[in-house]
Structure 1
């Protein structure tokens, strides 16, 4: 892998030196740059997979399994070989190291955030805190995730079938591990993971006992308005939505939780947002909250005022972030009943110890 990356870099240098910056050369360079980016993502993923064992091996069994979700929503060749086949993807599994398979355990479904992102050791402390309480955790690398090459990257269906990939990961766990309690399944996610969380309980209300959505992407129409051209361009490429919000506003509404709150039923839901969020502007989550209220839905929420950390305010290792996560865990735990629930700051600090 490293030799191939070095060769690619050498090729780029030779091309630039020899041919300059003609249009065709720019296309070649862009293609090489894209290929290099995917190779680097794969390499980073391999390293991070090893780090999971290093960082959680003292309290958890870590595994990674291959599963599938629905077929792609866009097929380049609908009649071609393999068209209509399920989309295959990997998921991370985390089990308490002292697990007793004669008992029943609650399951936490944990979708990662980000447009073209992945589940990384950024979430180490979150997973540690969950496993220490007695949760089994599943984290899907749903379609569009990075680290698995261009093919998986371009299967992205933002706010669409990626939601069903995460749901499929939940079903996989129930089908394959008899010690998971089907009546104690929760889902929690931040940012884009918060959007996936919301759509999971909108579409599959009876499958989740409780949910938490942190700083959730909530309104793609508004988001396209306050973000810059480069960000909007991510959604407008052919393999993605393929159109701007200006050209197809209904498609963006379809993929926005704030425009689909009528689907929400009765899953106990907690929503958090932060007024200084530098990624998901608070106006998106305010729209979500107002829409839920307008539809007479029952839920809990808190709008935090200028908490340091912005978009990551409750995922950090700071004292205030841990105090907020205690609130989150209390919300989840009253419905999922883990064996060793986190009830206070001391509990959450103890969960993070590695000695």
Structure 2
């Protein structure tokens, strides 16, 4: 038998070993060529990062709805509390921020009252009349309340709407509302709180953690708050992501701008909590799903037990517009009175007790 030269023998062995890999690669390439792109799925998954592609809204309709809310607040407030629609300048670029101010009819005297900033929820949401019974109760308890329609809120036209900066300058807009409260002679500037629901709870949490250094707020309540944008955008998918990726200060998704999304997520700032914070969440929440909310609760209980007060409501009675997400905002939309469930009563009782402890009566 003919003896192969060593170098030829090694070459044949390498060729033989590589043959299956070459065949596999060729088969993979063939499959890629044969299987066409699913264009319908591609359109469904596409998420633009161009600001000009930010979802448009019916601005005229929103302005009309806001005018109706203003008139409802004015009518409901007569003889009950002092109501004003005001504007103030944000510390972020001096942007003009509209807000509602609700005050006691007969304040006790200089520096005798606590006050709070209440923060509405929603990506492009706004403060509306459905908060009325809770605002009235707060003022009856002696609090002055300001509710800002921070940048990105609806009802003020395209420019205000498209200035949205989720977790960015909107947080500065809300913090700046504290200056309005401090200027009220009967308010004690050392007794300021902040409270919000959903996206408003998210802003509240950021103000008490990331922005805690030098914060004007001494305590806050975050109800069903957004907690982790990395998780949330992945969980909600492209239809939700499109309202974020086209914002000028985000410009893309978490995999493209991870550090900024982390910076804007309260979950990653738990160790910076400097003031008492109450957090209530619901297991049947279909907006801020419990899969997102639970890690924040666990982190607060484990790492901030002395500063946090938390409660998980197990399948609370559904609210008017979603299953668990509005469990503590149950309102009869016709009468604008509370539509109490046991969980709503319990949650608000805990909220009022929390603020009495942390801000004083």
- Deviations along 1:134-159, one digit per CA (max 9) or x if unpaired, are 11001111111110111011111111
Partner of 1:140: 148
Quote the offset at 1:180 in angstroms.
0.6
Equivalent in the alignment of 2:66: 45
TM-score (norm 1): 0.78
> For 1:58, which of 65, 79, 82 is the aligned residue?
79
Please name the residue that 1:326 is paired with.
Answer: 349
Which of 1 and 2 has greater Rg?
2
Q: Distance in 2 between matches of 1:168 and 1:254?
A: 20
1:19 maps to which residue? none
Q: Paired residue for 1:160?
A: 168
Deviation at 1:249, TM superposition (A): 2.1
Shift of 1:270: 1.1
Residue aligning to 2:225: 216
1:322 deviates by 2.4
Output the CA distance in 2 between the equivalents of 1:135 and 1:162.
Answer: 23
> Are 1:99 and 2:121 matched, yes or no?
no
Matches within 5 A, 1:328-347: 328-338=351-361
- The CA distance in 2 between the partners of 1:335 and 1:244, in whole Å, is 38
The root-mean-square deviation of aligned C-alpha atoms, in Å, is 2.0
* Shift, 1:64, TM fit: 1.4
Q: Secondary structure at the match of 2:119?
A: coil
Note the 1:187-198 alignment, pairs <5 A: 187-198=194-205
The number of residues matched between the two structures is 292
The structure 2 residue matched to 1:273, chosen from 281, 289, 307, is 281
Q: How far apart are the structure 2 equivalents of 1:125 and 1:238?
A: 34
User: The residue matched to 1:252 in structure 2 has which SS?
Assistant: helix
Report the Cα distance in structure 1 between the residues aligned to 2:356 and 2:300, rounded to whole angstroms: 23
Pick the aligned partner of 1:245 from 239, 254, 273: 254
**Are 1:122 and 2:130 counterparts?**
yes
Equivalence for 2:44: none
Tell me how far apart the structure 2 counterparts of residues 98 and 156 of structure 1 sit (CA, whole Å).
37
How far apart in 1 are the matches of 2:158 and 2:248?
11
**CA–CA distance in structure 1, aligned partners of residues 124 and 87 of structure 2:** 19
Return the alpha-carbon distance in structure 2 between the equivalents of residues 124 and 281 of structure 1: 26
Cα distance in 2 between the residues matched to 1:195 and 1:315:
17
The aligned counterpart of 1:185 is 192
* Deviations 1:273-325 (CA, angstroms, capped at 9, x unpaired): 00000100112221212333454553110111000121011111223212321
Deviations 1:176-209 (A, max 9, x none): 2121101111111111111111111121355222
**Residue 240 of structure 1, CA deviation:** 5.6
Work out the CA distance in 2 between the residues paired with 1:102 and 1:86. 29
| d(CA) in 1 for partners of 2:250, 2:91 | 17
Deviates more, 1:210-219 or 1:312-321: 312-321
- Report SS of the residue matched to 1:70: coil
**2-side partners of 1:215 and 1:240: how far apart?**
25
Task: Tell me how far 1:109 sits from its aligned partner.
Answer: 1.0
Partners of 2:119 and 2:203 within 8 A in 1: yes
Indicate the SS of the match to 1:329: helix
Q: Which runs of 5+ in 2 are unaligned?
A: 1-51, 319-323, 331-338
> Are residues 257 and 34 of structure 1, via their aligned partners in 2, closer, same or farther at CA, if it must alter by over 3 Å?
closer
